[in-house]
Structure 1
């Protein structure tokens, strides 16, 4: 990848001047000028995903300058480097291979037979385990069928699978799913109070197998399991109930997990991009392997679109450019994700991690301090709930907040079609209200408190239906959007060294909290004061 400061490009300077022009025009004006605006500023991808970006404060000149910015920062070369397995994760000296996980053509892109052989072996293992547990062939130590699957992980080992399984709840089988991520024992207790050890399988999902929260929870679950099985535990019993997903095979074996129950995780797969890997075992257990494979195929379909489509018809590239347009030329600080499908309630949280952990950086690829904006703050909720809370600020507040509105044309439940009609009406109405307001209806002088001035930008992402294949496309599309943002903004999107600092400090604080003869030593009075307050009661 070339390390280009985007502010030094010709396109960036053009965009700075152009933004001044666009601040004198409204979305209402743009639609009035162009009768074909929707057609000119939307992409219908195979009649499966409609991406409508017409309700943005942009025109053809805006897109022209933004596309030139992508060209000047060598986005196409960077895309090729990722897909062909170059070591673009420079700070960790690794390739970035999440796209390879959903590519079933060995001679395509990566051309590394060993990696594809490893991926296919893992997929086969996911299928075998899923088929055995779902069919009831895999039984617990008392010969009872497995009813409960507990995924123990955090970050990418938790949030991706949680989001997918919740989003595809309509496809879920009879297995009960539980996600244990928080080190707060409240979550642990709530789970073990609902399950029996002989009917449960525990998946310990940790790339390093030393993440503090995950291993602490895993050890507590192991202790609870051994206490409640009422017989002397042996390796055979343990192998019926514990599975590991990790890159650290030795640590998992040391924990007591049978090697046959360990699914490898490639080191080149970052946590927030890992739901397509063996981390997705719980997804396969929830919806069946065939549907899990459809999820992969949908993602691969979007990979092909991203790789092959010209940049002016490329959904992830255009969306990335629009995001940069607002954050760097309109000084917006946040983006809202509004999902009009209740099952997808965790999508905003997932995209928050995907975006902010990837692009929340302040040092560029040249090692220089950045003076422009990188990641926006990502937040959101499900519609229509959000309409009755924070939408007031979106419509009449002082902050400009670009939004993504996501929904599906076909409802989850056909018996309640009137609900879906009202849901979609709200979905469309809110984008219209944000864009155009009501200033044509109200006299601002007489009804100033009623006035919504509009000109609030949004993208509408309309899926044909929420199913595994389409959801795979949607998530892949956001992954690539974030990747392109990182390329243009000249940052490394695939490391997360800021996360590691908090982990390191936590271990030193634990030692102080456990000291019997603890004394305040004067270092960092705030932290020492908090520790002292804790020790007054413990």
Structure 2
């Protein structure tokens, strides 16, 4: 008996290869069919996938693939708090942190959120003395999400000056030290296991900095954010300043948990709660909407089409909003650590490409750097533009008008191209893009954007039959680093020569 997923892919690969211009000519209703909107409370987000090569026929084919892959059942398990991470025998309950999921998990999440709210508001009210700065120490998901949210939301009315430090390179920590007064600085140590070597090394140096600058009780200036609270207490943090989160919440899905402490410190609890609410609205849409109308699922259809049918090895994200300058970096981890796999959930080799390489930048800067390749290069790169109708600045509206005109012009130019008798001035066109247009970039909207990409990543994984919630690929290099530290083991000649040259042999 043939595999229904294989059969679905065979049909998808036989569809006609019309150009984007031809698709618009054939279907006057195309924009309406491939645009959708999610309300975020006071505003909303428009998702326009009409400049991709998706068609009614392809959408039907992908819906058949979703059915063959058991998408509806996997989605049910996700929101029911059942095991969806088979290799680690865990649920993935980040939606419960936003109030969507298994009732018992929501109750636990709300209790932990209430505990964090009490601490945040107590600090803002002066319970720990004057606090003007927070150095948040983490790495990976414990740093990228908070860094994105703080940079996006805390530009105007900062409740606390937050510095996110992830790199074990001492220059990163020293830069934060130079911006902070140790007498009014808190340290947040974020680690799911509270054993991450880069994080704990930075934490020890931060304690030494406080001690060397006259802080009598450095541990009294530390807040621990962890799924292993007993290890934080053992390390020296008072249990009243340990903010736990569940083992069922993965690192790159954790900014909604106590890992979001620096966000709440920077913008206040009300805005942090609004971010959760915006994400919950996307959760409800993803949970309750079927087929092609499900916007994260539709985005996954396009992702897989370009990766597996058109052979696109990368996907580019360009934020036409300075507040989202860290979004491409955040999405790199979310997408490539989740779906950069080579085996299925059953341990069999995957039957095609998985996650493309995610990269990107900020418009309009990128137009004068990488867009040459996108318009005239030989690589097919699906592109995503993200912009806000409302400006984030108080300057002349000409700034924002020029920004948006450039954003929309790039999508139009990539699709249309331009013929020329001079080959060097010819643009082939027919290059796909999608646009995400926010009414405004407020906390709820940012929450919605992040949740949209979380569910898009999950949908991609289910359609490919892989597990997006483990990340064993990050461990091998760490293991070898530990062996180098321990000494007594030989490596390849190149590594041995490098160790000797650096004085580490």
Aligned residues: 502
Counterpart contact for 2:325–2:361, Cα < 8 Å: yes
**Residue 447 of structure 1, CA deviation:** 2.2
Tell me by how many angstroms 1:77 deviates: 0.8
**Bigger Rg, which one:** 1
- Residues 171/82 of structure 1: CA separation in 2 closer, same or farther (3 Å cut): farther
Residue 515 of structure 1 corresponds to which residue in structure 2? none
Displacement, 1:86? 0.6
**Whole-angstrom distance in 2 between the partners of 1:192 and 1:109:** 40
Is the aligned partner of 1:161 residue 2:146? yes
1:304-343 → structure 2 map (5 Å cutoff): 304-343=284-323
- The question of whether the paired residues in 2 share the 8 Å contact of 1:150 and 1:201 is answered with yes
Mapping 1:513-532, distance limit 5 Å:
523-532=491-500
- CA displacement at 1:6 relative to structure 2: 7.6
Q: Is the 8 A contact 1:5 1:490 kept in 2?
A: no
Pick closer, same or farther for the CA change 1:310–1:168 going to 2, 3 Å: same
**Shift of residue 498, structure 1, vs aligned partner:** 0.6
Residue 77 of structure 1 aligns with which residue?
73
**In structure 2, which of residues 361, 367, 377 is the aligned counterpart of residue 387 of structure 1?**
367
Cross-structure match for 1:436: 416
Deviating above 6 A after TM superposition, structure 1's stretches of 4 or more consecutive aligned residues are: 4-7
Secondary structure in 2 matching 1:9: helix
| Map 1:141-152 → 2, pairs under 5 A | 145-152=130-137
Instruction: Check the 8 A contact 2:411/2:433 in 1, yes or no.
Output: yes
Which residue of 1 is the match for residue 445 of structure 2? 470
CA distance in 1, matches of 2:150, 2:490: 48
Secondary structure of residue in 2 paired with 1:91? coil
- For residue 356 of structure 1, report the CA deviation from its aligned partner: 0.2
Cα root mean square deviation, aligned: 1.8
Distance 2:256 2:366 in 1: 30
1:16 to 2:13 alignment: yes
Partner Cα distance (2:236, 2:484) in 1: 29
Alignment of 1:17-32 (within 5 A): 17-18=14-15, 21-22=16-17, 25-32=18-25
Unaligned segments of structure 1, at least 5 residues: 140-144, 513-517
Q: Which residue of the partner structure matches residue 126 of structure 2?
A: 136
TM-score normalised to structure 2 length: 0.96
Q: Distance in 2 between matches of 1:205 and 1:160?
A: 12
CA contact (8 A) 1:165 1:172 kept: no
On the 8 A contact 2:220/2:237 being kept in 1, the answer is: no
Shift of 1:170: 4.0
Give the deviation of 1:196 after TM superposition: 2.4
Helix, strand or coil: the match of 1:122? helix
Query: Residues 15-414 of structure 1: matches in 2 within 5 Å?
Result: 15-18=12-15, 21-22=16-17, 25-46=18-39, 48-103=44-99, 109-112=101-104, 115-139=105-129, 145-170=130-155, 172-229=157-214, 233=216, 237-238=217-218, 240-414=220-394
Change (3 A) 1:375 1:5: farther
Say whether residues 1:457 and 2:462 are aligned partners.
Answer: no
Q: Secondary structure at the match of 1:465?
A: coil
TM-score if structure 1 supplies the norm length?
0.90
Q: Deviations over 1:364-392 (max 9, x none)?
A: 11111224101110000011111000000
Q: 1:291/1:522 Cα in 2 relative to 1: closer, same or farther (>3 Å)?
A: closer
Q: In 2, Cα distance between the equivalents of 1:212 and 1:308?
A: 41
Q: 1:359 Cα shift?
A: 0.3
Give 3-state SS (helix, strand or coil) of 2:396's partner: helix
Task: After superposing the two structures, state which structure 1 stretch, 192-201 or 463-472, moved more.
Answer: 192-201
Which SS does the other structure have where 1:257 is aligned? coil
Residues 30 and 205 of structure 1: CA distance in aligned 2, closer, same or farther (over 3 Å): same
Query: What secondary structure sits across from 2:131 in the alignment?
Result: coil
| Farther-moved stretch of structure 1 (423-432 vs 5-14) | 5-14
